[in-house]
Amino acid sequence: MSETKEILKMILSDKKLMNSSAFKDKVYVDEPIIKPASQLPRPVVPQKIKEMKGLAFTPEAYWKTSAWLFYTQGKFMEDYEDNYEYQTDFVKYYPTYRDLTAEQARGYFSWRTNVRNGQIKKAPLPFVYIYIYELINCIGSNDPQECFDRLKKFAGEYCSIDESIKKYTDLWLKDFIVYYGLPSSLADDLSDLQYDKSLLTLINYEGQSENDIFEAINTLSSYQITKSLYYLSSPDEFRTVLINSFIKLSDFFRNNRKNSLCSKLFGNIVECTYNIFASAVFYDRQPLRSCDYSLNEIHSFSCRNGKWSCRKYYGNRSRNGHLGDFVKAVDSLLRDNADFKYKISYTGVSKTAVSIIKAEIEELEKNRRKKASKKVVFDLSRLDDIRKSSDIIRDKLLVDEDMEQEYFSINEAAPDQQNNISNGCMLEKEEKNFLCGLLYGKSLSEISKQFSLLADSVNEKLFEHFSDTVIGFSSDVPYIIEDYTDELKKMFPKE
């Protein structure tokens, strides 16, 4: 200190220096007086923080772990509150109280005071993680359930400010439940357990609803269904083929393969060593504990003498590429079948899977044809044509005695001949030509333009014989229902 003062005195008393161009002919304004660091003002450090800092220099701290020191300092400052404005941002990895300057420590405890009072604001990330570490170590409350509730609430709210913490908080919340033995239901809404829930749905597919199976596939597939153009245009068809194909393929693996379809797609359950509260500053107060904990039937933990292991499906626990290939194959084959404008290709799918998907698409088409054949369309614009047809039918029903005698003479023919004649005579010439044209492959332009009216009339007249409609429509194009083709050809032979 004496040397510093002596240097300042020498500079100010040197006449040659004071008369030099550096000082001469200058206008002087107010400037801060040069002072040594010892004379600069320092922030006031509360006694409690000084004492906390002092814990790092106790004899016990020299041989204990940094996690022990964090826990000890945290319990010492458990109820401390402060009111200090700190605006500077900074970065620290695995931050602890020991890493904070006195000013940063005051800033942290002031921010924590506001958080505990429900005022959660953006802060330097070291502050955020130190607060999370406190809750993991049950600093602030001795009740694990209360600390879990605080941690979950804080993580949910702060993620809206900085989403980067979510990948850690979801993991630590799950570990918290396991380590402290809380109810497994608390983990149901965590992303890692959502994965298990969807996977269990596919593993136990036989007892699941179609909607649950679809949602599970949609959650686990790397090929995102809801972004498919074909799915957006025909969601019901896509869902039906996808769900039925998955069930049929799962049945095939169950009956013909050693491993299940889910084993092929997702692998098998594996047990590995586990680092509980990984990447967090955590002090294990029960280092030699032994316990078992199950989150569900495919995700469990065990601890033997403080060494943890985890049994679950490892690998990429998000969207699955193998399942994505299967879903993409369904999309591709549906597009090909519908001659969709935008085609896509697929790879990585077995011939068995492709054949099952194609069979389900064919079943879908078959059901669609059946529905189309039974569809009744009311076209009010054709009422005039319907009235005219009804007048013709009415006139023909009003027969005279000669026509009646002719009718009975026809009915005396042989049974097979009578059946063909009566049904044939029931049709008008135009109706018969229309029916024969469809039977023997004439083009629609050669038959008639009144497809709907003639089809309705033919179906009505032949209904008593077949107990069903014989002419169906597909995209407004009439066709003979395949089941009745042979019988109709006997009734109406080609002329």
pLDDT tens, N- to C-terminus, the chain (495 residues): 566 677 767 776 776 766 666 655 555 555 555 555 555 556 689 999 999 999 999 999 999 999 999 999 999 999 999 999 999 999 999 999 999 999 999 999 999 999 999 999 999 999 999 999 999 999 999 999 999 999 999 999 999 999 999 999 999 999 999 999 999 999 999 999 999 999 999 999 999 999 999 999 999 999 999 999 999 999 999 999 999 999 999 999 999 999 999 999 999 999 999 999 999 999 999 989 999 999 999 999 999 999 999 999 988 888 999 999 999 999 999 999 999 999 999 999 999 999 999 999 999 999 988 887 765 555 656 666 666 666 666 665 554 444 444 433 434 444 444 444 444 457 888 888 888 888 887 776 666 656 677 777 887 788 777 777 788 877 677 888 877 888 888 888 877
Judging by beta carbons within 10 Å of its beta carbon (0-12, 13-18, 19+), is residue 199 exposed, middle or buried?
A: buried
Q: Are 480 and 438 in contact (CB under 8 A)?
A: yes
| 186 Cβ contact list (under 8 Å, min separation 6) | 148, 177
Strand 471-474 relative to strand 477-480, pairing: antiparallel
Tell me what pLDDT residue 403 has: 46
Question: How far is residue 29's CA from residue 49's CA, in Å, rounded to a whole number?
Answer: 41
**Token reading at 273:** 């060593």
Q: Kindly report the backbone phi and psi dihedral angles of residue 124, in degrees, each rounded to the nearest multiple of 5, phi listed first.
A: -55, 140
| Reported pTM | 0.67
Please report, to the nearest 10 degrees, the dihedral formed by the alpha carbons of residues 98, 102, 103, 104 taken in order.
10
Report CA torsion sign: 311, 315, 319, 322. Answer: negative
Q: Number of helices (H) and strands (E), helices first, in the chain?
A: 23, 6
Look at phi and psi of residue 475 and say left if phi exceeds 0, alpha if psi is from -120 to 50, else beta: left
Tell me what pLDDT residue 43 has: 67
Judging by beta carbons within 10 Å of its beta carbon (0-12, 13-18, 19+), is residue 201 exposed, middle or buried?
A: buried
Question: What 3-state class would DSSP assign to 283?
Answer: coil
Tell me what pLDDT residue 386 has: 62
Report CA torsion sign: 355, 356, 358, 362. Answer: positive
Question: How far is residue 457's CA from residue 463's CA, in Å, rounded to a whole number?
Answer: 10
Question: What 3-state class would DSSP assign to 112?
Answer: helix
Tell me what pLDDT residue 6 has: 74
Work out the angle between the directed axes of helices 125-136 and 144-158 (0-180°, nearest 10): 160
**Token reading at 264:** 């092929």
Question: What 3-state class would DSSP assign to 20?
Answer: coil
| 335-338-340 Cα angle (round to 5) | 55
The residue length of the chain stands at 495
Q: Residue 309: in which H helix or E strand, if any?
A: strand 307-313
Where do the structural domains in the chain lie, given as residue ranges?
2-39, 47-182, 183-373, 380-491
Please report, to the nearest 10 degrees, the dihedral formed by the alpha carbons of residues 481, 482, 488, 494 taken in order.
110
Tell me what pLDDT residue 316 has: 82
**Token reading at 291:** 């316990």
Q: Kindly report the backbone phi and psi dihedral angles of residue 393, in degrees, each rounded to the nearest multiple of 5, phi listed first.
A: -65, -40
Q: Are 56 and 66 in contact (CB under 8 A)?
A: no
